[in-house]
Amino acid sequence: MAFVPLKGVYVLDCSTLLPGPYCTMMLAEMGAKVVKVERAGTGEPMRTTIPGCFDYLNGNKKFVTLNLKQPKGKALFLKMAEKADVVVEGFRPGTVKRLGIDFESVKKINPAIIYCSLSGHGQTGPYANIPGHDVNYQGLSGLLNISGNPEAGPEFPDGFQAADLSGSMFALVSILAALNAKDKSATYLDISISESLAMWMMPRFFEYLSEGKPSKSKFMGRGPYGIFETKDGKYITIGVVENHFWDNLCKVLNFDDLASDPTLGSWHARNHERAKIVPRLKKAIKKKDADDWIRILTAADIPAAPVCDFEDWHNNPQFKYKNFIPTKTDGSIDRNAFRRFPLTDIKIDNQQNQEDTAIGKDNFEILTDLGISDTEIDAYKKEGVI
């Protein structure tokens, strides 16, 4: 049975850029009412740096502006916080305290508040006040050190914002856990992005210990597991870990000598002896086109998939089947049918999706909800409070 898990949950969000907004986007997608509080006037930086990303991250929220530095702006924030179930903020440590909207201040007026601070390195410790972005946390967490070429120095893999999203996901998990708690006392969630990513590195850390602290080159060296170029200049991935997949691969490629080679009898062995495997595999895969290989390899029950670019998303059979990128008749993305959460039995509240992400769009509605009169709202506007 499909359900909207967070119906009735009210989230007040004054975070910016990616980490906080990604977390609250998911909360909104699960049915929470998320009020995004932006700086009066300019709004948050993502509006201008990457507008498309701003719309994606925030297109299911309410938009309110507030000048938190003015006493009246602070008072309005606290009035909203009184009614909220969750507050999310992503300022530098110390800022909310200075503004008077910190956990202690909100707790006084709302003893059941869940207050989540999402910051680079957490609220305390020697790094707490050091600014950072995704690449800095990726370095600290140990990720970058085992990235790039196994035989060379670290390389920033870009790809996606692994660190920022680790913070988003652990903030999300912690908020859901707190909402789930029977005891409804105030809860403070101090999420550190660099620590969150380190949590994702833990399986690698224990692998590293388990294997006797190998060198980077040894730790990263892979046998029939990686990216291979095809005849048509495209790329496919092959992910052979288990022995039965290795047997299947050798059969398809007529690698009879490798199949019977006793030095290649396990995942570890094939990584260690990769020089015997990788050059031949590269050469073999170069002989046919990507589509042909995907058909041949998957038919032989071998883990393989195309390397997609974003254009491929529209035509990949699996993503197409799932209607991953719903489009309107004119070919543009249909934001009202668009999912921001993987398909599950959880019903997504698409009614909240909207094309209109104008700054301060919902000032009137939200302030009216707080019992503030039209005249007062006009005065707030004139004074630059909203």
Nearer to a copy of itself by Cβ, of 135 and 359: the residue is: 135
Per-residue tokens: 287: 């002989």
Q: What is the DSSP string of 26-95?
A: HHHHTT-EEEEEEETTT--THHHH-HHHHHHHHTTSEEEEE-TTSHHHHHHHHHHHHH-SEEEE-SPTTH
Residue spans of beta strands (DSSP E) within the chain: 10-13, 33-39, 62-66, 86-89, 114-119, 187-192, 225-229, 235-239, 304-306
- The reply to whether 20 sits near a copy of itself by the rule CB under 8 A is no
Residue 235 has φ and ψ, to the nearest 5°, of -135, 145
- The reply to whether 151 sits near a copy of itself by the rule CB under 8 A is no
Site residues (CB under 8 A) for a copy of itself, limited to 64-123: 121-122
Which positions from 217 to 236 touch a copy of itself by CB under 8 A, shown as an x/- string? ---x-x--xxx-x-----xx
- The reply to whether 283 sits near a copy of itself by the rule CB under 8 A is no
SS percent in the chain: helix, strand, coil, step 5: 45, 15, 40
Pick from 252, 269, 296, 346: which binds a copy of itself (CB under 8 A)? 346
- The reply to whether 291 sits near a copy of itself by the rule CB under 8 A is no
Which positions from 131 to 150 touch a copy of itself by CB under 8 A, shown as an x/- string? xxxxxxxxxxxxxxxxxxxx
Site residues (CB under 8 A) for a copy of itself, limited to 351-370: none
With contacts defined by CB under 8 A, how many residues of the chain interact with a copy of itself? Answer: 139
Tokens 């060198």 sit on residue: 215
CA distances from 216 to 41, 264, 275, 277 (A): 49, 21, 16, 20
Which positions from 33 to 62 touch a copy of itself by CB under 8 A, shown as an x/- string? ------------x---xxxxx-xxx-----
- Region of 249-257, 276-284, 321-329, 361-369 interacting with a copy of itself (CB under 8 A): 321-329
Name the minimum Å distance from CB 123 to a copy of itself: 10
CA quadruple 192, 193, 199, 202: dihedral sign: negative
Nearer to a copy of itself by Cβ, of 3 and 75: the residue is: 3
Per-residue tokens: 117: 């601070």
Nearer to a copy of itself by Cβ, of 298 and 373: the residue is: 298
Name the minimum Å distance from CB 109 to a copy of itself: 17
